[in-house]
A = this chain, B = another copy of it.
């Protein structure tokens, strides 16, 4: 076990930690430690809603979540000698839930997948699923099962939802400008088009006083992925992955959090994946001047992890960019993938799952979402690969018809 450079006391809110995390991106957040290239270390991480989601059978907690608090990130860690223009090489050595005994915080032997209500965040299918739902998952080593999804058992593809370097002031300015421009096109939209800087509930590590006030007004929210990596929600950033991250500030200032026990491509439920607190072991190195040399100037590149759960048989659903009302869109892969998801949900209901259960499942299980055709005007084609081995019954079509059964219920609001 490598040295812990960021500790979390899982019994306390992240607002009350000895060394506070940060839930915004800003270049001025001071590093909690500085390490040499070649160092390996551990970050302890708080689950993204700070322990306010419970291991119970009601989705009221999901309904009432406060999105302004997310995501508590552990770090930043500065790397000696890292300068703007370098590539920070980050190895994902290990990752897991909170090692302590069973407890009340996600990560302590369990995790959760939620669907946000449309009025509070929404999700990929929010028009179809405007209310809040939840599934609790129990951890058995790397395997997950859920009392809210009987008949399902799979090996998780554990990863950090968020890992990123600090933006420069200049880059942060670009983010704020372009996102403000988008918001301005429909400022009152529900859910919103983007989340502007918001000092309320902001926490910026050890930054205090005026420096805090100034930074909190301009610090970027953690919801989206951006040029620094961030909330990419790439499930394949699992054990064994190596990421090459652009460095925008002195020291690089690496932070991570939002650990997922598992997730399907797209993290379609938004309060998605199987959320947990836990630990993340990283190794760091540098490629000096690598951004220019390799042309990695806009986003990270990476090798995916090589211990992904090995599924080789899939039932695959297809979607095209005609929306639910039959309206034709022009080469819109987003809609195509949404339709593939809806097709999968429709299919799963024939076996006895409720549409909400199916939606929660697709957010959490290691499904693959692929771009198939993106040029065949006017229809994009997207495909969703559902591993058949995660079900303890035969999910494949046959002349016998679907094995319909009572498959229980997910957690709902009261």
Contacts and interface: CB of A to CB of B under 8 A. Distances in A.
A161 to B, nearest CB: 8
Interface string A367-387: 011111111111111110100
A65 interface: no
A124 B178 CA distance: 24
Contacts of A372: 225, 232-235, 265-266
A88 to B, nearest CB: 11
A331 interface: yes
Residues of A in contact with B, size category: 35 or more
A155 interface: yes
A394 B394 CA distance: 9
Contacts of A333: 333-334, 337, 371
B231 A373 contact: yes
A250 interface: no
Report how many copies the assembly holds: 4
Interface in A325-348: 326-334, 337, 339-340, 343, 346-347
Nearest to A338: B374
Among A296, A304, A376, the one with the most B-chain Cβ atoms within 10 Å of its Cβ is A376
A370 B265 contact: yes
Given A155-B240, A225-B320, A300-B318, 12 more contacts: A1-B99, A93-B141, A223-B377, A225-B376, A227-B320, A235-B372, A268-B375, A294-B347, A303-B314, A310-B310, A312-B313, A369-B370
